[in-house]
Amino acid sequence: MSATAPDADSHLISPLETNLIERVCVGDIVLRSADVYPNSVAIVDGDRQVTYAQLNAMVDQLGHALLGLGLQHQDIVALAARNNLEMLLCYFACARAGLICMPINLSLRAHEIAFCLRDAKARVLVADQMLRGLIEAACQESLPELQRTFWFGADGIDAAQDFNALVAQGASQPLEVLVGDRDIVQLLYTSGTTANPKGVLTSHLAVTIASLSNAIMNRCTEHSAALVGLPLFHCAMLNSVAVPYLTVGGKLVLTQGFEPATCARLIDAHQIDLLVWLPMMYGLWLNDPAYQGRTFASVKRAMYAMAPMPPERQKAIAAMFPNADVILGSGQTEFTPATCVQRPEHQWSKAATWGTATVMTRVAIMGEDGQLLPRGETGEIVYRGPQGMRGYLNLPDESRNSFRHGWFHSGDVAHMDEDGAIWFKDRYKDVIKSGGENVASIEVERCLLQHPAVVDAAVVGAPHERWGEAVIASVVLAAGHSADEAELLAHCRGLLGGFKVPKAIVIATEFPRTGTGKIQKHLIRRELSEFFKNT
Amino acid sequence: MSATAPDADSHLISPLETNLIERVCVGDIVLRSADVYPNSVAIVDGDRQVTYAQLNAMVDQLGHALLGLGLQHQDIVALAARNNLEMLLCYFACARAGLICMPINLSLRAHEIAFCLRDAKARVLVADQMLRGLIEAACQESLPELQRTFWFGADGIDAAQDFNALVAQGASQPLEVLVGDRDIVQLLYTSGTTANPKGVLTSHLAVTIASLSNAIMNRCTEHSAALVGLPLFHCAMLNSVAVPYLTVGGKLVLTQGFEPATCARLIDAHQIDLLVWLPMMYGLWLNDPAYQGRTFASVKRAMYAMAPMPPERQKAIAAMFPNADVILGSGQTEFTPATCVQRPEHQWSKAATWGTATVMTRVAIMGEDGQLLPRGETGEIVYRGPQGMRGYLNLPDESRNSFRHGWFHSGDVAHMDEDGAIWFKDRYKDVIKSGGENVASIEVERCLLQHPAVVDAAVVGAPHERWGEAVIASVVLAAGHSADEAELLAHCRGLLGGFKVPKAIVIATEFPRTGTGKIQKHLIRRELSEFFKNT
């Protein structure tokens, strides 16, 4: 018995109740939108449309079902999916259940996917039946932590592996478990300076702040509709488009792959106001019969990622979308991801820049001594802000190094002008950004060195109209060995995800080296920088 | 010596460095805007204009100076200011220094201000010279914790009390101290069901989420300008207008008091796009020569607070601001404060509602048993969301009670319709909302009972065109005593802040009571509800 009688007005509030009131949880985003816009369409996936109320109910059900498998707080659920309803359903169900969702990059090869699954100790895998070949190949490797795999997208799947049967097992009441602001909600693997992909751990708070920031920048409302034209397993689409639109009650229209006629139809049918494509995709579409001579008045913002595009292409895009700002956004997975976006008033005058800092992001230029540099001086781009990652999974040294001097280090070199716009110059880290993907030079170099004829390999990025940067390799052959470009390319294709395979391999007699024998890659980069100029 | 040689790439990151990278701190808002928009005007205060770079430098300097006074993390700095530059400067300097800013409600009487200063244990007070009479009267009471007072707004102030001299003492380098997401950034006193005002403690995270949410709803950008026409010591102006606009790099144009001609000039001069006024202020201005027959095309949103307004007035406002949505926002200090805002498409069809939940806020209707009710059923409005307060200062039981059943209890009774719109019905808590201020009935009742002639007092709110609700009292006189309304009103004016003084006092012979003798206030409220109908 308590020494004092309880006051009629005093109530014990449990830790869970306190958490439910005040927390920042990505799973709550769909819940709130379902409160306010229950009958609005949240997601259009081909012939399927789900309202917010329906999506929210499915999220509860799948969340319960996942926890019913015995998964513990912050366990990892891997997800192999194209842009479809199940992808977003899994993402939000994990978020609400306090689990970590790990969307798999489908450009990776089976053995790379196996590496990620093993590194993450993923316990459950949800996969699209259409990807069965790739995923089963990955699962042939030793994955001792992986306990269950569920498939969706086909009939007649064995009940124990049927995703729809899993969902149906879940209770329908609201799923309410403790979730901390800085618990992890997503794990995305990104290529970096290391040979293996690095797992980027991102918190509920980071995803939420990024979502609100993007909603402000893209002026999206409950009447907005975005075309989800790039893969959702990239955080550009997931965190800069999908989550923000669902936060404000807007509509997501999913597409898979390049189908100009389909996209044109969807833009009209859903009065799409936001597009995010790569420069090369705009290029392909500009020339497609589905777009020739057409204009799309509903589009308010035609964003592009990766790298500035030629002015003529930008003008052609502006003509096709007469009410749209045509602007570049840049960023990286470690910052969830948008760090800079061009301001509309800079879209022509500063089209060659990366834009200025996004809402809630600080961007600065740092010298090699860790001091911030004044405007106009060149150094490394560094970031601060609550949308930053918590760290790389299993890589404490890499994580600490990326945050040295109290800022996140991008590895990109630039100066900032008087308006805060970032003028990219070079890259510190040995990473090539090709077609929206990061490629670690070292990984491609190691692959080439596995070929018996290759004694030295240097892999760099060269400017390329379609890919932004294209992977290009220079190799030195071993004395007495021979190999031609085609043979070496075939070798790479056998070992590397498609986007990592060099677009060209040049055979050199020797490499420029420093006095201590280190390869001078900047000289090789300069030499190859014109390689694709006329292709 | 360490057993292993340090890796060249491994760095120790201090807790402060980690905090600076990832924290959510209201002080960083101005810092980021100064990065991106250094030369844009942040604040216009009469003849004074400051850019973001200037504001940011002053925030650093004042923050250093405050810490130089010996203030510790989360100490309280009280602020008695009208809408001026110093007000916002102090607010952000406290935020960046890890101190708590306590803006004083200037509608309070001296002894009420003294109560707040004492309750908060404020250690430093910054005050406008124009308020010297009121503030010095408050400081005549025993305030053992208050160590220093600084005045601004006049020349010739003694150096030890001169705010400008204080600022000048501060170092100019960036101020970087540890600040936690859920540390307190502001303390605002609000009247509630208790006789004394309650101190609402609000975190950096809450203010930041509220800021982003309001920026989304009001579509503000770096080109936006808001007229700050209501007092900044209210969180409606501070957290729904000032902080959001400064977050996105917009401009704040400050005004003090009712000056229609000045407001008209400022709206034109600064192309104001957001107005937030009370219905009665719009009413006054509609009839003022400065506005007669005028239209203001720059205004995109004319918000009003407190209570729905008559349709004719809303139509007149819409005619004056032809490009504006004329919409109601509602909320409370405990939720920083916007909880519901009318959607633009509901501004006519659902003008009588309180609107729908703001971004990041969950709104629900709860029965007396703590269960949420379905659409259409009437119960108490309850809230969840990270923009909620941390609690009431020194009132743990009140805090717990307000969060019972895992939701914040508004004390307002309503139902929610199929669109999520809130139809207000009644109030559980004995609070009157008059002219944008909360008045606790009990406080006014106690005041009346101090008059020798009064034996019973019941204070309620009655609908009033100008005040939304007006405070009205019914009293029963002691046998053998007499007093008329004028005498009782004079008695109240001597003891209560102006907005708490009843607009009318009715003398009754007896009160309706329950079987157990409790006054049936709902019957008195009903009886008096028509009192102001034709005034």
Q: Percent of chain B scored above 90 by pLDDT?
A: 74
- Report yes or no: A182 and A205 within 8 Å, Cβ to Cβ: yes
Cα B408 from chain centroid? 18
pLDDT tens column, B398-439: 999 999 999 999 988 899 999 999 998 877 777 788 888 888
Residue B8 pLDDT greater than 60, yes or no = no
Mean residue pLDDT across chain A: 92
pLDDT tens column, B23-42: 999 999 999 999 999 999 99
Q: Which of B157, B155, B30, B6 is nearest to B94 (CA)?
A: B30
pLDDT tens column, B494-511: 999 888 999 999 999 988
Question: Which residues in B lie closer than 8 A to residue A430 (C-beta atoms)?
Answer: none
- Report yes or no: B419 and A249 within 8 Å, Cβ to Cβ: no
Question: d(Cα A448, Cα A450) in Å, to the nearest integer?
Answer: 5
Chain A residue whose CA is closest to B389:
A22
The pLDDT of residue B534: 62
Do A388 and B35 lie within an 8 Å CB cutoff? no
Q: How many CA atoms lie within 13 A of A108 on its CB side?
A: 26
Residue A221 pLDDT greater than 90, yes or no = yes
The pLDDT of residue B11: 63
Question: d(Cα B325, Cα B308) in Å, to the nearest integer?
Answer: 14
Q: Percent of chain B scored above 70 by pLDDT?
A: 96
Question: Which residues in A lie closer than 8 A to residue B12 (C-beta atoms)?
Answer: 400
Interface with chain A: mutation pick from B51, B216, B335, B419, highest number of A CBs within 10 Å? B216
Fold of B51-204: Rossmann fold (3.40.50)
Residue B532 pLDDT greater than 80, yes or no = yes
pLDDT tens column, A440-481: 887 898 899 889 899 889 999 998 888 888 999 999 998 888
Question: Which residues in A lie closer than 8 A to residue B403 (C-beta atoms)?
Answer: 11, 13, 17-18, 21
- Burial bucket for residue B470 (CB in 10 Å: 0-12, 13-18, 19+): buried
Distance from CA of B179 to the nearest CA of A (A): 13
Q: Which of A177, A167, A232, A170 is nearest to A204 (CA)?
A: A177
Residue B9 pLDDT greater than 70, yes or no = no
The tokens for A52 are 């917010």
Between B12 and B351, name the one with better pLDDT.
B351
A211 falls in which pLDDT band (50, 70, 90)? very high
Residue B535 pLDDT greater than 60, yes or no = no
Domain with CATH 3.40.50.12780 in chain A: 51-204, 258-427
In B156-307, which ranges are continuous DSSP H helix? 163-169, 204-217, 235-237, 243-248, 260-270, 279-286
pLDDT tens column, A129-153: 999 999 999 999 999 999 999 999 9
Between B7 and A253, name the one with better pLDDT.
A253
Do B364 and A247 lie within an 8 Å CB cutoff? no
Q: Which of A179, A172, A69, A84 is nearest to A128 (CA)?
A: A84
Chain A residue whose CA is closest to B422:
A36
Do B359 and A215 lie within an 8 Å CB cutoff? yes
Residue B192 pLDDT greater than 80, yes or no = no
The pLDDT of residue B16: 96
B4 falls in which pLDDT band (50, 70, 90)? very low
A535 falls in which pLDDT band (50, 70, 90)? low
Do B406 and A17 lie within an 8 Å CB cutoff? yes
Do B406 and A16 lie within an 8 Å CB cutoff? yes
C-alpha dihedral, B497 to B500 to B501 to B505, nearest 10°: -160
Q: How many CA atoms lie within 13 A of A66 on its CB side?
A: 34
Question: Which residues in A lie closer than 8 A to residue B362 (C-beta atoms)?
Answer: 28, 31-32, 35
A96 falls in which pLDDT band (50, 70, 90)? very high
Distance from CA of B138 to the nearest CA of A (A): 33
Question: Which residues in A lie closer than 8 A to residue B215 (C-beta atoms)?
Answer: 216, 359
Give me the residue from B21, B181, B216 closest to A388, CB to CB. B21
Question: In chain A, count of helices (H) and strands (E)?
Answer: 17, 25
The pLDDT of residue B7: 44
Question: Which residues in B lie closer than 8 A to residue A386 (C-beta atoms)?
Answer: 22-24, 181
The pLDDT of residue A210: 98
Question: Which residues in B lie closer than 8 A to residue A397 (C-beta atoms)?
Answer: 7, 9-10
pLDDT tens column, B111-142: 999 999 999 999 999 999 999 999 999 999 99
Q: How many CA atoms lie within 13 A of B121 on its CB side?
A: 7
Question: Which residues in A lie closer than 8 A to residue B11 (C-beta atoms)?
Answer: 400-401, 403-405
Question: Which residues in B lie closer than 8 A to residue A390 (C-beta atoms)?
Answer: 22
Q: Which of A477, A485, A469 is nearest to A528 (CA)?
A: A469
Give me the residue from B386, B401, B408 closest to A11, CB to CB. B401
The pLDDT of residue A195: 64
Residue that has been written with the tokens 């149906």 in this structure: A168
Give me the residue from A9, A20, A405 closest to B401, CB to CB. A9
Give me the residue from B35, B181, B400 closest to A181, CB to CB. B181
Do A219 and B219 lie within an 8 Å CB cutoff? yes
Fold of B431-528: GMP Synthetase; Chain A, domain 3 (3.30.300)
Give me the residue from B10, B362, B386 closest to A31, CB to CB. B362
Backbone angles phi, psi at A148, to 5 degrees: -140, 145
Do A384 and B21 lie within an 8 Å CB cutoff? yes
The tokens for A107 are 């450009």
- Count of residues in chain A: 535
Number of C-beta neighbours around residue A67 at 10 A: 21
The pLDDT of residue A7: 44
- Report yes or no: B197 and B116 within 8 Å, Cβ to Cβ: yes
Do B408 and A21 lie within an 8 Å CB cutoff? yes
Size of the A and B interface in Cβ pairs below 8 Å: 159
- Report yes or no: A394 and A419 within 8 Å, Cβ to Cβ: no
Query: In one letter, which amino acid is A470?
Result: A
The pLDDT of residue A9: 44
Contacts of B40 (CB under 8 A, 6+ apart): B33, B51, B52, B222, B249, B251
The pLDDT of residue A517: 64
The pLDDT of residue B514: 67
pLDDT tens column, B143-168: 999 999 999 999 889 999 999 999 99
Distance from CA of A473 to the nearest CA of B (A): 27
The pLDDT of residue A534: 62
Do A21 and B403 lie within an 8 Å CB cutoff? yes
Do A406 and B247 lie within an 8 Å CB cutoff? no
B517 falls in which pLDDT band (50, 70, 90)? low
Residue that has been written with the tokens 């494509």 in this structure: A277
- Report yes or no: B338 and B213 within 8 Å, Cβ to Cβ: yes
Between B430 and B101, name the one with better pLDDT.
B101
Q: Percent of chain A scored above 70 by pLDDT?
A: 96
The pLDDT of residue A4: 38
The pLDDT of residue B518: 66
Give me the residue from A10, A222, A405 closest to B397, CB to CB. A10
Backbone angles phi, psi at A69, to 5 degrees: -75, -5
Residue B212 pLDDT greater than 90, yes or no = yes
- ipTM value of the model? 0.88
Q: Name the 3-class secondary structure at A315.
A: helix
Number of C-beta neighbours around residue A251 at 10 A: 25
Averaged pLDDT, B190-205: 84
Do B403 and A359 lie within an 8 Å CB cutoff? no
The tokens for A10 are 């005093």
Domain B258-427: give its CATH architecture: 3-Layer(aba) Sandwich (3.40)
Question: Which residues in A lie closer than 8 A to residue B397 (C-beta atoms)?
Answer: 7, 9-10
pLDDT tens column, B384-396: 999 999 999 999 9
Give me the residue from A36, A247, A405 closest to B356, CB to CB. A36
Question: d(Cα B208, Cα B187) in Å, to the nearest integer?
Answer: 15
Cα A93 from chain centroid? 19
Question: Which residues in A lie closer than 8 A to residue B24 (C-beta atoms)?
Answer: 205, 209, 386
Identify the helix (H) or strand (E) that includes residue B32: helix B27-36
The pLDDT of residue A192: 58
B279 falls in which pLDDT band (50, 70, 90)? confident
